[in-house]
Amino acid sequence: GQIVHLENYRPTDFVLERVDLTFELDPQETKVEARMIFHRREGVSPSAPLVLDGDELVMTGLLLDQEAIPGTLYEATDDTLIIRELPERAPFEITVTTVLSPETNTKLMGLYRTSNVYCTQCEAEGFRRITYFPDRPDVLAVYTVNIIADKAAAPLLLSNGNYLGGADMGDGRHFASWFDPHPKPSYLFALVAGDLGVVEDTFTTVSGGNVALKIYVEHGKEPRATYAMDALKRSMKWDEDVFGREYDLDIFMIVAVSDFNMGAMENKGLNVFNDKYVLADPETATDADYANIEAIIAHEYFHNWTGNRITCRDWFQLCLKEGLTVYRDHEFSADMRSRAVKRIAEVRHLKSEQFPEDAGPLAHPVRPTQYREINNFYTTTVYEKGSEVTRMIATILGRDLFKKGMDLYFERHDGQAVTIEDFVACFEAASGRDLKQFSLWYHQAGTPLVTASGVYNTAGQTYTLSLEQTVPPTPGQSSKAPMHIPLRFGLLLPDGSEATPTAVSGAEISGDVLHLTERKQSVTFSGVPAQPVPSFNRDFSAPINLHVVQSAGDRALIARFETDLFARWQALNTMALDNLVKAAAQTRAGRPVACDDALVDALLAAAADNRLEPAFRAQVLSLPSETDIGREIGGSNDPDAIHTGRQAVLTAIATAGKDSFARLVHEMSQSGPFRPDAESAGRRALRYSGLFYLVYADGQPGKAADAFRSANNMTDLSQALTLLAHRFPDAEETAEALAAFKERFANNALVIDKWFAIQATIPGAATLDRVRGLMSDPLFNANNPNRVRSLVGTFAFANATGFNRVDGEGYRFLARQILDIDARNPQLAARILTSMRSWGSLEEVRASHARSALEEIARASSLSADVSDIVDRMLE
Ligand code: B3K
Ligand code: ZN
């Protein structure tokens, strides 16, 4: 593929006014007629041709105002249709007829089939696989869609907007027509047809509008869609209450499908979901599944305003809708659940996924300026860092001005396709604050590093902080300007209270936000009665790495007294991380691992503190992951040493805290029916933490096997199985439990995905053979993205020791898998390949094996644009 540059953006020569689509559905030969009314834009040369996008299309007809266009006046290539000598002023109609084969569309882009259901995915550039079209987000048009299909095979015919009507055609076929009054870009088009079950409800909007709500699932799965329906209604209400956004059609539909390249898609009025993010019941879904469903249902619904009503001018602006919508779904979940616990989970995710991306060869700005394959930019940087950037605007402006800016954005840009600059300008206008330096967050890649040290002057009762920021070089950006970093902080006094300085110099401070804007900044606080312990980045106010030289005692003070719960967790987590980094070094040097008493004491104190909610205490007890430790070490990593060191620390904590953990398990047991709410989930999580350490203390599988046998919900069951398999892979209890689990859930693919994932993450070199074996299990299906992700993807992303085998077999295995998957589904292959994005921080033996595997991929003939873009950037 060609590189696309932001600076080359220009509007289309022709304006699209209306689109009428007619689909005659057939598994191998679907006929699509697209009628499009265009007019030449003001000032465009009368000789300029109309250029439409296409991708693997078979065109069987082309008309201008219902007359055939002579072959001399158009040219159809692989990816474009160019039509010349079109009317100078008057609107004209182009009719394109294409023939598609949904059944053989394995890329799952455009129109495809999944379990006998016709379904579409158009974002980013899938609509051009349906017909020739100006397939770009700044072309907004009103669509009418007619669907014709066999009545028995597809009793249900759905598209965007409101239902106009339909009828039997008397020949075994029927049709339905849909009209979407809201102008939209083609990436939001959707069509679904098939035989599905439905869960129905209604929602009355704040101004009294009645909305029919429908969630379509495979027959028999209806009971598993009720939680999603509940989450949808809560999302609709929340968006009215918090953002003042009301729904704008008579009907809102969600369809759950089992073959989908990602999580879900926000098509106007007709969201299509990976069924993994719709279906749940206590027997088959974990607490994490429930939380994900709630978040993703909300996310897609929120796109109706942030994405659909106001969309992106071009794909460089992807974070305009994604970063903002993630921020909105984060806030929603925080309101539905525990805000502090939600924030901790977000930061854990950001650090384990986005920070490595930002530190490796795939690093790119939140608002990139170039791409080869746009599908590779649906990244954690665009989404999660994009959300953090929005959050920082809220932090800098404060709640009221942020709200004012959002209101202005909705008012000013409704119905438009806009840019990040337009978005930021709304907050500048609403607040009067200059956000120019702040905007560097959109343009400079890399995670800023802030270092801080403080000096206390006893005589003068002043405290001076020296702060310094650096932003590491990233591909294409070697030197960076200082950023505007909003750091929420507090100065804790030895008795745990917070200092209230009488004066500050050297930085703008508003409330507890310190605005760091210079490369080096020295900030002096007066009237500080004793040497304070600074607590930085409360609530993770800025997505940065922070280095503060602090003793374990300082951290323990923060962990005990901070008013910000997130900061408490952060202090404990940092204390643990220091220990785990040391443990890895000790292991590597062949020395015994020592676990600090201060860490054990602080963890046990927090774990036993009944004033803290169970979910928070469970977060405290869940130590930094092997990826976190590797990132902190920063280079020449040995995943085996990291793993072994971490296991030793876990065992030391377990042994020291055995009695407290036994107490936790006892105190957190629950009776009565399963409830998926956050509080019950928190109790389950804390109970599991206790069980986890007890099993480590025992060194025996007994308690985990008992927990497996007595579990009455999927959360407890899958955690017990994980504990057994990961800690005792060769035990008889493990083999029995794995077999029992498989037998019980063999007909539930989503649960079998958990079974694959648990086995794919068993630590150690032997797991590769296990994964190979599982690939020939009859329950595995190489064509289904969820199956491939749960086995191959999970192995590569989440099994540091198994994947990074020192002999390089893990990388060679992945290379072959990538080539195999790429031939069918390039997007899926490219995504899984990003699991190797941190290969450069491995020690040299592994790094050189990793490089060879990447080179093997790069050398392969007929690579997709998706995979070749990723592999080339990883080798640069
Ligand atoms: N907008 C879609 C993602 C589309 C990905 C295309 N490769 C889902 C979402 O972010 O809500
Ligand atoms: Zn989204």
Q: Is the pTM of this model over 0.90?
A: yes
The number of the ligand nearest the C-alpha atom of 271 reads: 1
Ligand 2 midpoint to CA 325 (Å): 6
* 162-168 sheet: strands from edge to edge: 67-68, 59-64, 92-100, 30-40, 14-24, 141-150, 173-184, 162-168
Question: Which pLDDT belongs to residue 442?
Answer: 99
**Mutation to probe ligand 1, out of 123, 271, 376, 831 (largest number of atoms < 8 A from CB):** 123
Q: Could you tell me which residues come within 8 angstroms of residue 139 by beta carbon, excluding any fewer than 6 positions away?
A: 12, 16, 185, 186
**Mutation to probe ligand 1, out of 108, 120, 125, 266 (largest number of atoms < 8 A from CB):** 266
Q: Which of 420, 443, 466 is the last residue of a domain?
A: 443
Burial of 859 (0-12, 13-18, 19+ CB in 10 A): exposed
Question: Which pLDDT belongs to residue 174?
Answer: 98
Is there a domain that residue 639 lies in?
yes
Ligand 1 midpoint to CA 662 (Å): 44
Tell me: pLDDT of 545 over 90. Answer: yes
Is there a domain that residue 479 lies in?
yes
Q: Are residues 806 and 843 in the same domain?
A: yes
* CA-to-CA dists, residue 719 to 77, 685, 754, 776, angstroms: 53, 10, 10, 25
Q: Are residues 431 and 350 in the same domain?
A: yes
Long-range contacts of range 593-601, CB-CB < 8 Å, 24 or more positions apart?
A: 593/645, 593/648, 593/649, 593/652, 595/648, 595/649, 595/652, 595/653, 595/656, 596/552, 598/552, 598/553, 598/556, 599/552, 599/575, 599/653, 600/652, 600/653, 600/656, 600/657, 601/556
CATH of the domain at 420: 1.10.390.10
Q: Are residues 353 and 329 in the same domain?
A: yes
Is there a domain that residue 267 lies in?
no
Tell me: pLDDT of 152 over 90. Answer: yes
Confidence band of 670 (pLDDT split at 50, 70, 90): confident
Is there a domain that residue 397 lies in?
yes
Q: Are residues 351 and 462 in the same domain?
A: no
Cα Rg of the chain (Å, integer): 28
Confidence band of 432 (pLDDT split at 50, 70, 90): very high
Residue with tokens 């609403």: 430
Residue closest to 668 by CA, chosen among 686, 691, 654:
686
Nearest CA to ligand 1 atom 4: 123
Ligand 1 midpoint to CA 67 (Å): 38
**Count of domains forming the chain:** 4
Q: Are residues 481 and 511 in the same domain?
A: yes
Is there a domain that residue 499 lies in?
yes
Burial of 397 (0-12, 13-18, 19+ CB in 10 A): buried
pLDDT digits (tens, 9 = 90+) for 468-508: 999 999 999 999 999 999 999 999 999 999 999 999 999 99
Q: Are residues 561 and 647 in the same domain?
A: yes
Tell me: pLDDT of 671 over 90. Answer: no
For 432-465, where are the alpha helices, taking DSSP H only?
Answer: 440-443
pLDDT digits (tens, 9 = 90+) for 347-394: 999 999 999 999 999 999 999 999 999 999 999 999 999 999 999 999
Is there a domain that residue 502 lies in?
yes
Ligand 2 midpoint to CA 425 (Å): 22
Q: Are residues 599 and 678 in the same domain?
A: yes
CATH of the domain at 486: 2.60.40.1840
Q: Which of 495, 521, 543 is the last residue of a domain?
A: 543
Q: Which of 497, 521, 543 is the last residue of a domain?
A: 543
Instruction: Please give the number of the atom of ligand 1 that sits closest to the Cα of 263.
Output: 8
Opening angle at CA 92, ends 88 and 95, nearest 5? 135
Q: Are residues 474 and 579 in the same domain?
A: no
Tell me: pLDDT of 1 over 90. Answer: no
Q: Are residues 602 and 676 in the same domain?
A: yes
Catalytic residue among 33, 123, 266, 300: 300
CATH of the domain at 666: 1.25.50.10
* CA-to-CA dists, residue 284 to 114, 293, 740, 747, angstroms: 22, 13, 14, 11
Q: Are residues 535 and 627 in the same domain?
A: no
Residues framing ligand 1 (Cβ under 6 A):
123-124, 262, 264-266, 299-300, 303, 322, 375, 378
Q: Are residues 622 and 660 in the same domain?
A: yes
Instruction: Please give the number of the atom of ligand 1 that sits closest to the Cα of 296.
Output: 11
Confidence band of 842 (pLDDT split at 50, 70, 90): very high
ipTM more than 0.95? yes
Q: Is 300 annotated in the active site? A: yes
- CA 42, distance to chain mean position in Å, is 41
How far is the C-alpha of 205 from the C-alpha of 211, rounded, in Å?
7
Q: Are residues 629 and 499 in the same domain?
A: no
Is there a domain that residue 421 lies in?
yes
pLDDT digits (tens, 9 = 90+) for 550-559: 999 999 999 9
How far is the C-alpha of 126 from the C-alpha of 18, rounded, in Å?
19
How far is the C-alpha of 668 from the C-alpha of 653, rounded, in Å?
20
Range of the domain at 360: 315-443
Is there a domain that residue 797 lies in?
yes
Helix, strand, coil shares of the chain, percent, nearest 5, are: 45, 20, 30
